[in-house]
Amino acid sequence: MFTPGMLPDEYEDLRKSVAKFADDEVAPVSAEADAKHEFLYAQVAKMGEMGLFGLPFDEEYGGMGGDYFALCLAIEEIARVNQSLAITLEAGVSLGAMPIYRFGTEEQKREWLPQVIDGKGLAAFGLTEPEAGSDAGGTKTRATLADGQWTINGSKCFITNSGTDITKLVTATAVTGTRTGKDGTEKPEISTIMIPTGTPGFTAEPAYDKVGWNSSDTHPLTFDGVQVPEANLLGERGRGYANFLRILDEGRIAVAALSVGAAQGCVDESVRYSKERRTFGHPIKDYQGISFKIARMEARVVAARAAYYLAASRMIAGLPFKKEAAIAKMVAGDAAMDNARDATQIFGGYGFMNEYLVARHYRDSKILEVGEGTTEVQLMLIARELGI
């Protein structure tokens, strides 16, 4: 099992190299990019050169031959200084490329994976709709098959990496028919279909004006008579939603890693500031109210990191990990939000200024209690795994 502070050399070397990249090349440009809502193309390209988008994929597809835990370590280090860039990596791999890797045909993997794991291209996954997400039965997007072509009509919302200049592909869930359920009732047959972004009828609508993650690319999508070949079906017909649940289980570990990075960033900034800021002739670290607050922040980080390390260890070992992933995602998301709140309080008025990292973490971290399954969904999953 992976143990915080006792990583094998290859993982520790990766962590250190990504941490250096984050501190030297990401942190200096993050405040301006956030203020201007700019996507960090140069940093994404550098991450591609470092092999980060290819970490968990086989070398035969252009990957690095590593594993999912290596990806999580990279995401954590980037999230310390910029959550927007961290979610770009997380979504590009776990939501964009991973479904192709897990469920694609050999031909699909050889065609698409090299294009979306080199930092020069991105893939996205379109699941969420105004009435559908966790509730698959609410899916309104439809795909009909005729003469070897899928015709897709519908819309998606909150889709990460879907409208950048380098987005190559969006895989979307769609109702492709009906099936009789175990209870004898008719249920929608949901499949996943790969849609290249240049396909006529595919539109990435104007980007959202978000509370946070301002340097992350997020759009609603519209499919108006989009036509793609029958061969663009990803995985078995009718297994689209079930397959994506597997992807979400894995993704929760990566989002937990992102959350831990954000929580750690708040600790680092608070420790630094508490030594520099003086009141009544003393650095504020000397006041128990401040030192205890930072100590509690550190405790949250340590607990959350241990939770996602455990989930990743079980996943890589081939053991059941659904419960552990849900726990890690919930605990780490709470840690990120709680630490951001406390860090902002420690910084006082400066914590309310967007030029300071803790202010950005305060705005950014709320979505970590919502995205890839809300806290309530995680509680539901944990209870279900306990048999209650």
Rounded to 5 degrees, φ, ψ at 215 are -95, 5
Would you call 180 helix, strand, or coil by DSSP? strand
The answer on pLDDT for 289 being more than 70 is yes
**Mean pLDDT along residues 148-170:** 96
Reduced DSSP (H G I as helix, E B as strand, rest coil) percent helix, strand, coil of the chain, to 5: 55, 20, 25
The answer on pLDDT for 261 being more than 70 is yes
Q: Dig out the tokens for 28 from the structure.
A: 């200096």
pLDDT for 136 = 67
pLDDT tens per residue, range 76-131: 999 999 999 999 999 999 999 999 999 999 999 999 999 999 999 999 999 999 88
User: Which of 331, 350, 349 is closest to 339 using CA atoms?
Assistant: 331
Domain topology for 242-385: Butyryl-CoA Dehydrogenase, subunit A; domain 3 (1.20.140)
Domain 123-237 CATH assignment equals 3.40.190.80: no
Instruction: Determine which of 184-188, 215-219, 360-364 has the lowest per-residue pLDDT on average.
Output: 184-188
* Residue 231 CB coordination number (10 Å): 12
β-bridge pairing 167-180 and 186-196: antiparallel
Q: Dig out the tokens for 259 from the structure.
A: 């959350």
The answer on pLDDT for 168 being more than 70 is yes
Domain boundary assignment for the chain: 9-119, 123-237, 242-385
Q: Measuring CA to CA, how many Å separate 220 from each of 70, 150, 260, 335, 370? A: 31, 21, 28, 29, 17
Would you call 242 helix, strand, or coil by DSSP? helix
| Rounded Cα–Cα distance for residues 73 and 22 (Å) | 12
Residue 299 pLDDT grade (very low, low, confident, very high; cuts 50, 70, 90): very high
Cβ neighbours for 183, distance < 8 A, ≥ 6 positions apart = none
pLDDT tens per residue, range 305-327: 999 999 999 999 999 999 999 99
**Mean pLDDT along residues 196-204:** 96
Instruction: Please give, one letter per residue, the 3-state secondary structure of 185-233.
Output: CEEEEEEEEEEECCCCCEEECCCCCCCCCCCCCEEEEEEEEEEEEHHHE
pLDDT for 279 = 92
Rounded to 5 degrees, φ, ψ at 99 are -60, -35
Instruction: Determine which of 132-136, 140-144, 359-363 has the lowest per-residue pLDDT on average.
Output: 132-136
The answer on pLDDT for 239 being more than 80 is yes
**Mean pLDDT along residues 262-270:** 98
Residue 3 pLDDT grade (very low, low, confident, very high; cuts 50, 70, 90): confident
Most confident of 237-246, 276-285, 334-343: 334-343
* Averaged pLDDT of the chain: 95
pLDDT for 371 = 87
Residue 338 pLDDT grade (very low, low, confident, very high; cuts 50, 70, 90): very high
Do 129 and 139 meet the contact criterion of CB atoms below 8 Å apart?
Answer: yes
Instruction: Determine which of 73-82, 91-100, 236-245, 277-286 has the lowest per-residue pLDDT on average.
Output: 236-245
**Mean pLDDT along residues 39-56:** 97
pLDDT for 372 = 86
Query: To the nearest whole percent, how much of the chain has pLDDT over 70?
Result: 99
Q: Does the fold of domain 242-385 match that of domain 123-237?
A: no
| Rounded Cα–Cα distance for residues 29 and 43 (Å) | 10
Catalytic residue among 77, 90, 250, 372, which?
372
Rounded to 5 degrees, φ, ψ at 187 are -125, 150
Q: Dig out the tokens for 115 from the structure.
A: 């294009």
Q: Looking at the structure, give the CATH architecture of the domain made up of residues 9-119.
A: Orthogonal Bundle (1.10)
pLDDT for 130 = 85
Give catalytic status of residue 372 as yes or no.
Answer: yes
